[in-house]
Structure formats: C-alpha cells, structure tokens
Homo-oligomer: A and B are copies of this chain.
Amino acid sequence: MKLLKDRILSEGRALNEDILKVDSFINHQVDMELMDAIGKDIADHFRDKKVTKVVTIESSGIPPAAMVAMSLGVPLVILKKQGSKVLNEDMIQTVVTSFTKGNTYELSLCTRFVNENDHVLFVDDFLANGEAATGTVRLLRQLHATIAGIGILIEKSFMPGRSKLEDAGFEVYSLARIKRLEKGVIEFLDD
C-alpha cells in the first residue's frame, strides 16, 4: 500500500534491525484518516471470505482493526494481554513470548465472543516472529472458529512470522513488507 509505505519512509524511524518506530502515526499518535484507508484496504482484500468477526490484540492493533471491522460491518474482538486476576470459567488463555520486546504475557479471550460458526480475520500492526498471531490462532482454534485470514500493517519480511503462518495454511496480507531494516535504513520488498 503506497500510502502506508510513503508514510513509513517519511516519518518512520529505523533504530536498529529490530525496532522501527512509527509512534507519530500508528502507535502513540494515530492518524485516523490513514487508519480509515488501511481499514478499507484490508477489508476489501478479505471481503469475499465471509468474515464474521475481526480480532486484534490490545492496544496498538486496535485503531486499524476497528476500521477493518467498521468497513466489513462486523464486531471487533480485542484480546487482552493481562490475565484476569479472577479467571472466569468463560475465559481461555495462552502464553505468548515476544522475542522483540523480550517479555511474556498471557493472551485472554472470552468464549462468549467467538464460536465455531465464526470466520475470523486477525488484524495487527506488526508481524515479525509471528508469536502474537500464532497465540491468537491457538485461542481461536480452541473455540473451533475458522481463520479467514491475517491482515498486517507492517511485516518484517526478514523474520519468520509470515512463513510460520503460511506453513500453517493461513493467508497473510501485509500492507508494507520490509526487506531490510537497520539504523536509518528502511527497504521494502517489491521496490
């Protein structure tokens, strides 16, 4: 998506091969006009997949995922990162280790909001090692939902996330695929 790639080149800050800061338009300050365009693009790509729910992880995936859900006319379900102190009987959880951030967290989903009739589109801001996406897939499969696809804003294509997900049989649609990232350098695939 040219609009997003141009914005990454003009405002993104590559700190090293792990960290691309996009906090002025995606993560901390959010350009809602851009999110609207992103939402429509991802929604259009998956429009024939009979999506019934859009799922994302709190919190930086929420604005783009919300716009995808809006464009598809379906509810958004937000997976929580903190485990509930009181684990209700209707909550399921899985442990996710983020190699990028060097932390581990529990991803929680209430069983009332996804079921075996759902076709779920997972939307997130970044895809790198794919730990968040595979954790989400584990929860969704536990509830026997169909994974309609995975929509990503920024993919670190030099990391194994995409191939892990494709090997598991899922379609991954990424708006900006980064081939090479190092201090001050951002290069996209297909350029």
Write the residues of chain A forming the contact surface with B, with a CB cutoff of 8 angstroms: 23-24, 27-33, 35-36, 58-60, 62-63, 66-67, 69-70, 73-78, 80, 110, 112-113
Task: Indicate if the CB atoms of A30 and B77 lie closer than 8 Å.
Answer: yes
- Complex CA gap A113/B36 in Å reads 20
Contact A113-B29, Cβ < 8 Å, known A35-B66, A63-B66, A66-B62:
yes
Given known contacts A58-B59, A63-B66, A66-B63, is B30 in contact with A76 (CB within 8 Å)?
A: yes
Copies of this protein in the assembly total 2
Sample of 11 further A-B pairs with CB below 8 A, known A32-B75, A60-B78: A23-B110, A24-B112, A28-B110, A29-B76, A29-B78, A30-B76, A30-B77, A58-B58, A59-B62, A59-B78, A63-B66
Selected contact of A24 from candidates B29, B73, B113, CB within 8 Å: B113
Whether A63 contacts B76 by the Cβ 8 Å rule is: yes
A-B residue pairs in contact (CB < 8 Å), sample of 13: A23-B110, A24-B112, A28-B77, A29-B112, A30-B66, A30-B76, A30-B77, A31-B75, A32-B75, A35-B70, A59-B62, A59-B78, A60-B78
In the docked arrangement, what's the CA distance between A94 and B58, Å? 21
Give bound CA distance, A62 to B57, whole Å: 12
Q: Which 3 A-B pairs have the closest CB atoms?
A: A59-B59, A58-B59, A30-B76
**Bound state CA distance, A29 and B66, in angstroms?**
11
**Contact partner of A80 among B28, B32, B75, CB < 8 A?**
B28
Cβ of A153 to closest chain B Cβ, rounded Å: 15
